[in-house]
Amino acid sequence: MNRVLARLRLGHRAQDVEAARIFEEQYERPSFWRRHGTTLLLLAPLLIYMALVFAVPVGFQVAFAFWRRELYKGVMWMPVPAFTLENFIRAFTETEYVRSLAWTVGVALFTSAVALLLALPVAYFLARFKPFGAAFIELSFLLPIFGDIFTIYALAYALSPQGPINWLLMSLRLIDEPLRLVQSPIAVIVWMCLPTLMVLLIRSAIAGVDVMYEEAAQTMGASWLRTFLKVTIPLAKKGIMGALLLTISGAVGVYTLPLILVGPYNIWLSNKIQKEVNPFFNYPMASALGVILTALCAVLMYLYLRTQEERRVT
């Protein structure tokens, strides 16, 4: 009896499959626009905005990078459409541009490494001990990001000759006269070493590590420091590496910070780009430097996204 019922069920399934095939042949599938038209209409304003505000300007920037400039009627420099690699050759051969590029990348790497060393213990403390007022502490790390102008000017005052830092050093008789910390790259490096968003990103990575592994290591006799270095950091390394890459990417493209704390004649590459536009009107050279800076940031962002994808997969 059971075998008969099983055969009947298989027969009904085969008939259902055949009926579905006939139905598909008789009635066409909905067209692409019918299936995705609503989604495209909802995305259309954003796509148009991104095309006009981002894609088109970037396209002009890349095109101008391969142009050259000519003196128009002996009065004004004008970009001329002529394919040339002269701007990129100058960017990697002339001492002024090479020094600016090396300085920008070097400072970004150094300050990001220092920020990482400062962020690791703070992030571990927030992830494991959950102190009172943790939300307020985490919010304070976002203040330099969303209120960067206010924090930059506050730091400029703190480092000024009449600021509290020089006042404290002179009160302790450690120095005889105020230090000139403003209008120098030192102030920028100090501010860029502050771990802001990096603390929150690493805290999230460490919070995702099961405490069981740390407890097992300490049960086997490992100290707190050895457990942190040999267990916690390796298990959270992808999140830590992502935070480091994101910080380097932001540090490479910094512009406002050196402009305020050092002045308009600083050595950062972003300032060199602005100087090529005004007062030199060298749009092709500015575009070439911009393409190099954009490509560098794009590579760092790509590596950051790869670390996040691998983290989700594992």
* Count of CA atoms in the C-beta half-sphere (13 A) of 196: 20
Least confident window among 177-181, 186-190, 235-239: 177-181
Task: Collapse the DSSP code of 27 into the 3-class scheme (helix H, G, I; strand E, B; otherwise coil) and give the result.
Answer: coil
Q: Which one, of 7, 215, 255, lies nearest residue 108 by Cα?
A: 255
The winner for highest mean pLDDT among 2-16, 30-44, 66-80, 193-207 is 193-207
pLDDT-derived band of residue 312, with 50, 70 and 90 as boundaries?
Answer: low
DSSP state of 69: E
**For 69-74, what is the mean pLDDT?**
77
Q: How far apart are CA 209 and CA 115, in angstroms?
A: 22
pLDDT-derived band of residue 36, with 50, 70 and 90 as boundaries?
Answer: confident
Q: Where in the chain is the domain with CATH 1.10.3720.10?
A: 91-313
Residue 3 has pLDDT above 50, yes or no: no
Q: What is the pLDDT of residue 8?
A: 39
For residue 31, report the phi and psi dihedrals to the nearest 5 degrees: -70, 170
The answer to whether the Cα torsion of 310, 312, 313, 314 is positive or negative is positive
Residue 45 has pLDDT above 50, yes or no: yes
Q: How far apart are CA 156 and CA 264, in angstroms?
A: 15
Supply the Cα-derived Rg of the chain in whole angstroms: 29
- Which residue has better confidence, 138 or 218? 218
**pLDDT over 90 percentage in the chain:** 18
- Report CA-CA distances (Å) from 223 to 67, 160, 165, 219, 273: 61, 44, 38, 9, 51
pTM of the model: 0.77
Largest Cα span, the chain: 106
Q: Which one, of 75, 80, 104, lies nearest residue 283 by Cα?
A: 80
Q: Which one, of 140, 158, 108, 143, lies nearest residue 261 by Cα?
A: 158
Return the residue matching tokens 């499959």.
17
Helix 269-277 vs helix 283-313: crossing angle, to nearest 10? 150
Residue 44 has pLDDT above 60, yes or no: yes
The winner for highest mean pLDDT among 44-53, 105-114, 232-241 is 105-114
- Which residue has better confidence, 95 or 80? 95
Cβ contact 184:263 at 8 Å? no
Burial of 100 (0-12, 13-18, 19+ CB in 10 A): buried
Tens-digit pLDDT profile for residues 16-30: 545 555 555 555 556
**For 33-52, what is the mean pLDDT?**
84
For residue 259, report the phi and psi dihedrals to the nearest 5 degrees: -65, -40
Tens-digit pLDDT profile for residues 223-254: 888 998 899 998 998 889 888 988 898 899 88
Q: What is the pLDDT of residue 313?
A: 55
Q: Which one, of 247, 220, 228, lies nearest residue 141 by Cα?
A: 247
DSSP state of 176: S
Q: How far apart are CA 154 and CA 144, in angstroms?
A: 11
The winner for highest mean pLDDT among 22-31, 130-139, 282-291 is 282-291
Tens-digit pLDDT profile for residues 193-229: 888 888 988 998 998 888 898 889 888 888 888 998 8
Q: What is the pLDDT of residue 149?
A: 77
Please check whether the domain covering 91-313 is classified as CATH 1.10.3720.10: yes
Least confident window among 66-75, 116-125, 192-201: 66-75
Across all residues in the chain, what is the average pLDDT?
82
